Amino acid sequence: MVKLTVNDRQHEVDAPGDTPLLYVLRDYLELHAAKYGCGLGQCGSCTVMVDGVAVFSCVTPVMLLEGKKVTTVEGLGTAENPGPMQRAFIEEQAAQCGYCIPGMMMRAQALLQRNPRASDEEIRTHMQPNLCRCGTHARILRAVRRAAGLIQTAEAAPAVRSAAR
Per-residue confidence at 155, pLDDT binned at 50, 70, 90? confident
Fold for domain 2-164?
Ubiquitin-like (UB roll) (3.10.20)
Residues 60-100 pLDDT 10s: 999 999 999 999 999 999 999 999 999 999 999 999 999 99
Q: How many CB atoms lie within 10 A of CB 132?
A: 23
Nearest of 109, 107, 147, 148 to residue 130 by alpha carbon: 107
pLDDT in tens, 104-127: 999 999 999 999 999 999 999 999
Q: What is the average pLDDT value for the chain, to the nearest integer?
A: 94
Contact, 162 vs 123, CB < 8 A? Answer: no
Domain ranges of the chain: 2-164
Helix, strand or coil, per DSSP, at residue 3: strand
CA dihedral 72, 94, 114, 107 (to 10 degrees): 50
